[in-house]
Amino acid sequence: MPHAVKRAVVLLSGGLDSATCLWWAKSRGYVPTALSVRYGQRHAKELGSARRLARRAGAALHEAALGLPWLKTSSLVDRKKVLPELPLSKIGVGGVPSTYVPGRNTMFVALGLSLADAIGAEAVVVGANALDYSGYPDCRPAFYAAFGKVARLGTARGASGRRLAVLAPLVKLDKAAIVRLARRLKVPLELTWSCYAGGRRPCGRCDSCKLRAKGFAVAGAPDPAL
């Protein structure tokens, strides 16, 4: 009897973490379907990275578009706002930063569950991590555990007793561990884009660039995207 296909929806922003999740899903035997989301982010660079990564991984890519006017409260959406440039030691410790997009991961996981329910996937994989992160509330393990219950109760698939899990495989890893995992999984890191600004090259000054640089430095590896 042929082995049943295990499908997973992987939320793919185009950054280091979500790309690592895409290859992680493959390594765990899932046939991945990537999901990227336009929500009015400052720049489309990461969406281009998501496309290239999905193609390289041989994964189908769904692009969702959200028109949510109230997200302008975030500096990651409103181009008129200034992106924070904190020293590394201050990132993630001073409360929720201006780059926080209200309820973003809640919405993204919900979209992932919708897609999973539509295509018969048994997992939604999200690249959140709670160690080297910017201080967002929706990056913590308990949040994903709670969403697992929502998935089981609120989808046709889950309600019928079939598996539909919310997986955050990086949630307890620091950036260096993610870089090491990505290298072991042969993620094409040169295709990833983490910078909050949308310049030709990563800015090196935003929270995301600094956390990424620290990850590569601690892992003792060069960043092939630089």
* Of residues 143 and 216, the one with the C-beta less far from a second copy: 143
Which of residues 31, 56, 86, 106 is near a second copy by CB under 8 A? 106
Taking CA 195 as the corner, what is the angle to CA 47 and CA 8, rounded to the nearest 5 degrees?
A: 45
Regarding 44 and contact with a second copy (CB under 8 A), the answer is no
* Of residues 147 and 216, the one with the C-beta less far from a second copy: 147
Regarding 62 and contact with a second copy (CB under 8 A), the answer is yes
Which of residues 31, 86, 110, 197 is near a second copy by CB under 8 A? 110
Among candidate residues 136, 114, 116, 9, the one with its CA nearest the CA of residue 66: 114
Contact 35, 11 (CB under 8 A): yes
Regarding 118 and contact with a second copy (CB under 8 A), the answer is yes
Regarding 90 and contact with a second copy (CB under 8 A), the answer is no
CA–CA distance, 42 with 7 (Å, rounded to integer): 31
* Of residues 82 and 142, the one with the C-beta less far from a second copy: 142
Question: CB pairs under 8 A, 24+ apart, for 78-83?
Answer: 79/42, 83/196, 83/197, 83/206
Binding segment for a second copy (CB under 8 A), chosen from 84-92, 144-152, 177-185, 204-212, is: 144-152
CA–CA distance, 148 with 225 (Å, rounded to integer): 34
- Smallest gap from Cβ 146 to a second copy, in A, equals 4
Regarding 70 and contact with a second copy (CB under 8 A), the answer is yes
Amino acid at 30: Y
Regarding 188 and contact with a second copy (CB under 8 A), the answer is no
Which of residues 52, 114, 197, 218 is near a second copy by CB under 8 A? 114
Regarding 142 and contact with a second copy (CB under 8 A), the answer is yes
CA–CA distance, 104 with 118 (Å, rounded to integer): 21
Contact 57, 26 (CB under 8 A): yes
Distance of CA 4 to the CA centre of its chain: 27
- Side-chain-side CA neighbours of 46 within 13 Å: the count stands at 27
Regarding 159 and contact with a second copy (CB under 8 A), the answer is yes
List of residues contacting a second copy (CB under 8 A) = 62, 64-71, 73, 95-96, 100-107, 109-111, 113-119, 137-138, 140, 142-143, 146-147, 149-151, 153-156, 158-160
